[in-house]
Amino acid sequence: MASELSLETSQGGGATHILGIFTVFNCLPLLSVLGLRSSNLQSPKNNKEHHTSEIGSERLFVRRAQAFVITLNFDRPFHAATDKVIFTAETGPQPTESLGTKVRFVPSKARDANHWSVFDFSTYENSLQVSLSSPAHAIIGRYLLKVEISQPSGQAKSFQLGEFILLFNPWNSEDEVYLPSETQLQEYIMMDYGFIFKGHENWITPWPWNYGQFEDDIIDICFEILDKNLNFLNNPSKDYSQRNSVMYICRVVSAMINSNDDNGVLQGNWSEDHSTGVNPLEWNGSVTILRQWHATGGQPVRYGQCWVFAAVMCTVMRCLGVPTRVVTNFRSAHNTDGNLTVDMFYDKRAEMVPWERRDKIWNFHVWNECWMTRKDLPAGYDGWQVLDPTPQETSRGVFCCGPASVKAVKEGDIQLAYDTPFVFAEVNADEVIWLQDSGQVKEILSHNTSTIGKKISTKMVGSDKRQDITNSYKYPEGSAEERSVFMKASRMLLGPTGSSYPYMERMRTAWFQEKPVKLQLKLARTPEWGQDLAFFLRARRLQGSEMGIKQLLLHVWLSGQALLHGGNAQTPLWRDELSFSLVQGEEKELPITLPFTHYKDQISDEKLIRLSGIVEIEQTRRKLLVIKDISLELPHLIIEVFGRAVVDKKLSVSISFTNTQSEPLQNCVLMLEGSGLIEGQMTINLGTIQSGDTIQAEVDLLPTKEGSRQLQVLVSCEEVKEIKGYKDIFVASASSS
């Protein structure tokens, strides 16, 4: 008798290659069951081929739908004719085949794209080398790999081969995160530093950040985050079974970066009091935050704001293999009632007054975009998707946001999942400013259709420059396409009447005739923190305005307020009044000074001041509004690197800083961070820096990784929290020195 098995062998080069079908005759002598002496997961070789060697070479990190090679060493030669092998890969706390968390697979001629595969066997003496591969829809996570070896006689033994981690694979066209650009993959997966753009639409500041997704232990912390999410705590097996979906992973991570529903990574704090934690402005990168969260057993780290939430999520998603970038939307609306209108209120003395409604306009808001295929949506909505870990509103009962297709936002297709109406409003809402007196809305001061969603920014690929991606989110302001999309979304949200807007009747009856005077607040010189602010009010009477009045008499109330990140303002730190007149076509410039003594102890950490003016025309009692936001320029750091940077060789760096203001800076601390340059964070106490003094700190670094690196530097004092700088450093390999 003979039996047919699924393999055949061929000899060549001293090794036996097992190729296809062969026949076994029962007259062959029975052999003892193979004993496994050792296994080699070939981590250095596999990790390099799977773009994971930056994580390390001691453990195996592989990507979906891509083969990896392992070697098994037995106590005798492997005989394909009699030694039957079955491989098992298990993930999760209670792996089962029914949920896909346990898979058993046998040798085949070639890789099967739809199933786990083991193929391409070759033997040499007592060793067996095989290739393994997962399908593109496999669950990501930690796996235990086993092999069971048996003979026709029924004897069998099972051996553990080791553990490996399986990640998304944006290099493979079968994976739902496939990104067909090597240049973009180097930026959105492999780049472990970058910039977050902050400040104000007219003073955009690049904020260096250490993502550090390949630092030791970060990948384990990323999976710890997944293992502490609410879905896992409620039903661990079901949670693991859904980890094959990038949409599921994105929503879980978005919820877990904040701590509103769970023991997430960061606790938000938008007040000016951060005494029980770290001021969000004082973080340099994600690594310190993630390690602190892990070290405390998953207690939320204090504190974060939008850019910190988004930066940490970028670290986690890039580590897991999802192309991710950080995006800043300047003048970002938080529209809670879905009417696409955000209302602001001023009193007659030009003070922006607090409002009870939750609507607001952030000076800037930062979120993430992740690249993926959207199989749940109609064709055309693949690509970049908005994910926002900042806890603003709940999504299906949990504080998370997205994924919302950027294309759907641009086209006004707000009916598509997830949270598209909210994101659409962030970049498209109208701003309406009202005059309020004794708590009552009196009249409309302005209705702005193009002041929300400005200069949407991200880091340019392969460059330190800013890339404006506003056109990805909306058509040009005022264009026919933009207004058409806005009306399309409005009809879906409000219906034909727009009845959910409480001031709709006032809007319809508002006095929208052309303003008789054009007003501007203009800076006279660069606004430096620590100096008096010089600006002027430019007023020009338009030809043909108020024809019955020869000379317009105008009275101006001016106010300066520290602007908070959430768009609200503190009580006025400065007020002024002035009067003047204008005849037809006349223009005047009136100089104004806001002294440093008025704002030095009252300005917020954001270092933003809103100058507002209410101009009343005496003859008509009509009121006009003029606004100017000022971002104060902070002192600069000078960073110098001496010599050539080489792995495992000392590198000297100098950081110098001059206190240019008229008063001392107290309790100054220098903090340095940079993956591949510094292990963790380096902190140096600088003490008090007197007015006019220059401090210089000399530090020695010991680079551990080659390639492009970035040193992030922060000087934080009681008076100023965010004097930041950076230095790009290329590190050569040790062998090239």
- Report, as residue numbers or ranges, the catalytic residues: 306, 365, 388
Helices (H) and strands (E) in the chain, counts: 14, 41
Q: By C-alpha distance, which of 674, 731, 678 is closest to 708? A: 731
In single-letter form, the type of residue at position 666 comes to Q
Q: How many angstroms separate the CA atoms of 22 and 485, rounded?
A: 65
Structure tokens at 571: 């009580």
Residue 164 vs residues 51, 89, 186: alpha-carbon distances, Å: 15, 10, 23
Q: Are 21 and 6 in contact (CB under 8 A)?
A: yes
Q: Is 517 left (phi over 0), alpha (psi -120 to 50) or beta?
A: beta
Residue 712 vs residues 123, 552, 654, 715: alpha-carbon distances, Å: 50, 55, 13, 10
Q: How many angstroms separate the CA atoms of 673 and 676, rounded?
A: 9
Q: How many angstroms separate the CA atoms of 24 and 153, rounded?
A: 13
- Antiparallel, parallel or unpaired: β 665-673 and 681-689: antiparallel
Q: CB-hemisphere CA count at 13 Å for 123?
A: 17
Q: Are 284 and 680 in contact (CB under 8 A)?
A: no
Which residue ranges make up the annotated binding site? 428, 430, 477, 482
All residues at 6 or more sequence positions from 580 whose CB lies less than 8 Å from its CB, including other chains? 539, 554, 556, 588, 590
H helix or E strand, kind and range, residue 487? helix 480-494
Which residue ranges make up the annotated binding site for Ca(2+)? 428, 430, 477, 482
Residue 517 vs residues 357, 434, 513: alpha-carbon distances, Å: 32, 19, 12
Q: How many CB atoms lie within 10 A of CB 491?
A: 12
H helix or E strand, kind and range, residue 294? helix 286-295
- Antiparallel, parallel or unpaired: β 707-716 and 68-74: unpaired
Q: How many angstroms separate the CA atoms of 607 and 599, rounded?
A: 10
8-state DSSP, 676:
T
Q: How many angstroms separate the CA atoms of 80 and 385, rounded?
A: 49
Q: How many angstroms separate the CA atoms of 709 and 731, rounded?
A: 7
